[in-house]
């Protein structure tokens, strides 16, 4: 009897071992699949998230709301200071407003002189942040806009003021926004008064690095940084932030977008210009088709 | 005694799955979208290893695999890498289960922490070998420290609040 039981036990154990091996194999092949065909694996992941996350909104909303209320309560503690600060800022803003109005009038006059036609305005679609990336090593968020709303991979995401990141992974009802601070984010930018080109590369801190600046002498802390539009992913001249010089003697960017209190974001609809595929069409006028037979006449002579 | 135990097994399994769903949920809530320098402890590893040592029938490997694969999918991690490491760690713990029965808490704490550290190192090497960008080493050290620190707390909750204890030395049925 005891021997029989022992046999049973061994049998179950070996089955378990085989299943364990199968699971191991499955996981390994999943990892390899993810590594080799990354876009497709990420697409599958986003479709899973797309099924699950929007259903969790009812549970997420109250908790998110409570955390915000707690934060608001904390800010009551220094309401007087804040009030003073706001008054000071308001005073400064009034001065700036005056300057802006004057500049706007001047700009209108100049545009009128040039008879300039402005490009059609970029249109914007707003969405709500659903979830965080959940990992300390990935800086991204899921928003409630997807294919249904016509979202396309690569479009820029902004808060009211500055660039936040770009769409990477679109599901039916949701899509993922990879932030500029993610360590995989690389964005071509222009540093404004000097028009130096640089690459803004995230490194998991709130101050992404400005890489590949041609001449750092021309860059001052406080310079405005905007997207350059190189590479055709982002439209040019979206505000990114200001240059700062950190103690390790590198230029970094203080982003204008506020990641701390992010609830909504705006996705900029943008269709990049047609790519130039034929280099020879660029130079000279379009020639009639007879000239293509030129080598033949050459041979006759 | 053994029938009531078996009876409760699926209940505990359900609770474990719900608990892990809760953890994923808390990771995903957009509390703050700014980068945090310090990682959170892997509470679930503490729970699973404590249960493997105490009541291994609650945590068969497929539940561990399922939960951790869910983590990989939802938390934007490389699919499968961390799950493999955790499954390996769970296997080591399970096969050395008998050693824990005779030894005191300190040994258990040290052993599970070391296994966790080993899993982290294996994962880091695995990712590095396949040219996947790896998380910074310092934050992994912190993850290890936090997880090791969380283990006694988790153990306290499991032993004294959920009342799941190691089988005493004499109380072994044929299931071992």
User: Minimum mean pLDDT among A104-118, A138-152, A205-219: which range?
Assistant: A104-118
Find the mean pLDDT for residues B39-59.
Answer: 89
**pLDDT number for residue B173:** 47
Whether A104 and chain B come into contact, CB under 8 Å, resolves to no
* Lowest-confidence pick of A52-56, B44-48, B167-171: B167-171
Is residue A27 less than 8 Å (CB to CB) from chain B?
yes
Residue A280 has a pLDDT of: 60
State how far the Cα of A201 lies from the Cα of A188, in Å rounded to an integer.
9
Is the model's pLDDT at A154 over the cut of 90?
A: no
Burial class of residue B88 in the structure, from the number of CB atoms within 10 Å of its CB (0-12 exposed, 13-18 middle, 19+ buried): middle
B81 touches chain A (CB under 8 A): yes
Residue A272 pLDDT: 62
Alpha carbon separation from A18 to A6, A52, A272, B110 (Å, rounded): 19, 32, 53, 30
Q: Which residue has the higher pLDDT, A14 or A279?
A: A14
Give the span between the Cα atoms of A56 and B24, in whole angstroms.
12
pLDDT grade, residue A301 (50/70/90)? very low
- In angstroms, the CA A273 to CA A296 distance is 37
Among A13, A70, A127, A134, pick the best mutation site for testing chain B contact (most B Cβ within 10 A).
A134
Residue A44, pLDDT > 70, answer: yes
Give the model's confidence band at A180: pLDDT under 50 very low, under 70 low, under 90 confident, else very high: very high
Q: CB-based contact (8 Å) between A3 and chain B?
A: no
In this prediction, residue B64 carries a pLDDT of 92
A154 within a domain of the structure (yes/no): yes
Same domain, A108 and A154: no
Nearest-Cα residue of chain A relative to residue B79: A31
* Separation between Cα atoms, residue A109 and residue A103, nearest integer Å: 10
Residue A297 has a pLDDT of 47
A143 and A83 belong to one structural domain = no
How far away is chain A from the Cα of B28, in angstroms, using its nearest Cα? 5
Q: How confident is the model at residue A8 (pLDDT cuts 50, 70, 90)?
A: low
- Say how far apart CA A285 and CA A287 lie, in whole Å: 6
The residue-averaged pLDDT of B24-35 equals 78
ipTM strictly over 0.85?
no
CA distance A200 to chain B (A): 17
Q: Please tell me if residue B172 touches chain A, with a CB cutoff of 8 Å.
A: no
On whether both A106 and A237 belong to a single domain, the answer is: no
Q: Are residues A214 and A163 in the same domain?
A: yes
Pair (A110, A221) in one structural domain: no
Q: Is residue A286 part of a domain?
A: no
Structure tokens, A130: 């659903």
pLDDT at B171: 53
A206 in B contact zone (CB under 8 Å): yes
Which of B20, B29, B176 has the most A C-beta neighbours within 10 Å, making it the best mutation to test the interface with A? B29
pLDDT in tens, A262-291: 888 889 887 766 666 666 655 555 666 655
- With beta carbons less than 8 A apart as the criterion, state whether A268 and A158 touch: yes
Residue of B nearest to A56 (CA): B25
Residue A34 and residue B79 in contact, taking contact as beta carbons nearer than 8 Å: yes
Model pLDDT, residue A190:
93
DSSP H or E run through B92: helix B81-95
Using alpha carbons, select from B103, B98, B122, B120 the residue that is nearest to residue B42.
B120
| A16 contact residues in B (CB cutoff 8 A) | 60-61
Residue that wins the pLDDT comparison between B32 and A178? A178
Q: How many whole angstroms separate alpha carbon B114 and alpha carbon B96?
A: 14
Please, are residues A143 and A129 in contact by the beta-carbon 8 Å criterion?
A: yes
**What is the per-residue pLDDT for A279?**
62
Residue A53 within any structural domain of the chain: no
B95-113 confidence digits (pLDDT tens)? 888 888 777 888 889 999 9
B27 touches A at CB < 8 Å: yes
Residue of B56, B66, B65, B70 lying closest to B12 (CA atoms): B56
pLDDT for the residue numbered A5 = 47
Considering the domain boundaries, does residue A55 fall inside one? no
Asked whether residue A244 is assigned to any structural domain, the reply reads yes
- The rounded mean pLDDT for chain B is 84
Give yes or no for A130 touching B (CB within 8 A). Answer: yes
Query: Which residues sit opposite B154 in a β-bridge?
Result: none
Q: What pLDDT does B117 receive?
A: 94
d(C-alpha B139, C-alpha B136), whole Å: 6
* Number of independent structural domains in chain A: 2
A–B CB contacts, 8 A cutoff, strictly below? 123
* Structural domain contains residue A235: yes
Provide the sign of the torsion angle of the four alpha carbons B13, B18, B19, B21, taken in this order: positive
CB contact under 8 A, B133 and A183: yes
Contact A36/B at CB under 8 A: no
User: Are residues A128 and A195 located together in one domain of the fold?
Assistant: yes
Question: Average of pLDDT values for A157-181?
Answer: 90
pLDDT over 50 (residue A106): yes
- Find out whether B16 and B63 touch, Cβ atoms under 8 Å: yes
Range of the domain at A262: 124-268
Q: What residues in B contact A135, CB-CB < 8 Å?
A: 27, 75-77
**Same domain, yes or no, for A186 and A224?**
yes
Q: Name the closest residue on chain A to residue B81, using Cα atoms.
A: A31
Instruction: Give residue-wise pLDDT tens across range B73-95.
Output: 988 888 989 999 999 999 999 88
Residue B172: pLDDT band (50, 70, 90) is: low
């Amino acid at each position: 009897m005891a021997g029989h039981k022992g046999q049973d036990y061994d049998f179950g154990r070996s089955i378990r071992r085989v299943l364990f091996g199968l699971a191991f194999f499955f996981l390994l092949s999943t990892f390899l699949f993810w590594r080799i065909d990354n876009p497709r694996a990420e697409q599958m992941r986003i479709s899973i998230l797309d099924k699950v996350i929007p259903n969790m909104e009812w549970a997420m909303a109250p908790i998110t709301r409570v955390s915000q209320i707690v934060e608001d309560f904390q800010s009551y503690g220094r309401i007087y200071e804040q009030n003073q600060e706001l008054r000071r800022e308001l005073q400064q803003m009034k001065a700036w407003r005056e300057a802006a109005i004057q500049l706007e009038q001047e700009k209108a006059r100049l545009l009128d002189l040039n008879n300039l036609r402005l490009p059609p305005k970029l249109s914007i679609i707003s969405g709500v942040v659903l979830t965080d990336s959940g990992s300390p090593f990935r800086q991204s968020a899921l928003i409630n806009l997807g294919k249904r709303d016509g979202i396309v991979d690569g479009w820029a995401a902004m808060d009211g003021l500055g660039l936040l990141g770009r769409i990477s992974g679109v599901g039916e009802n949701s899509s993922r926004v990879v932030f500029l601070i993610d360590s995989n984010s690389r964005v071509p930018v222009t540093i404004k008064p000097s028009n130096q080109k640089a690459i803004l590369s995230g490194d998991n801190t709130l101050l992404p690095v400005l890489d590949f600046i041609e001449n750092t002498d021309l860059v001052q802390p406080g310079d405005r940084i905007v997207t350059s539009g190189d590479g055709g992913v982002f439209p040019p001249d979206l505000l990114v932030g200001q240059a700062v010089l950190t103690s390790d003697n590198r230029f970094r960017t203080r982003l204008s977008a506020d990641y701390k209190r992010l609830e909504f974001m705006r996705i900029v609809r943008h269709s990049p210009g047609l790519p130039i595929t034929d280099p020879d069409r660029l130079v000279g006028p379009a020639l009639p088709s007879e000239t293509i037979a030129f080598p033949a006449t050459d041979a006759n002579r | 005694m053994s029938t009531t135990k078996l009876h409760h097994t699926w209940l505990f399994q359900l609770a474990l799955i719900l608990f892990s769903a809760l953890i994923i949920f808390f990771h995903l809530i957009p509390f703050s979208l700014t980068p945090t320098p310090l990682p959170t402890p892997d509470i679930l590893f503490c729970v699973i290893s404590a249960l493997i040592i105490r009541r291994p029938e609650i945590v068969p490997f497929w539940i561990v695999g399922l939960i951790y694969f869910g983590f990989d999918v939802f938390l934007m991690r490389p699919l499968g890498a961390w799950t493999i490491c955790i499954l390996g760690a769970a296997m080591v713990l399970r096969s050395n289960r008998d050693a824990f029965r005779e030894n005191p808490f300190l040994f258990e704490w040290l052993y599970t922490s070391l296994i966790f550290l080993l899993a982290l190192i294996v994962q880091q090497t695995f990712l590095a070998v396949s040219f996947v960008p790896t998380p910074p080493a310092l934050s992994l050290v912190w993850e290890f420290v936090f997880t090791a620190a969380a283990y006694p707390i988790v153990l306290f909750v499991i032993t004294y609040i959920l009342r799941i204890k190691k089988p005493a030395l004499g109380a072994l049925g044929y299931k071992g």
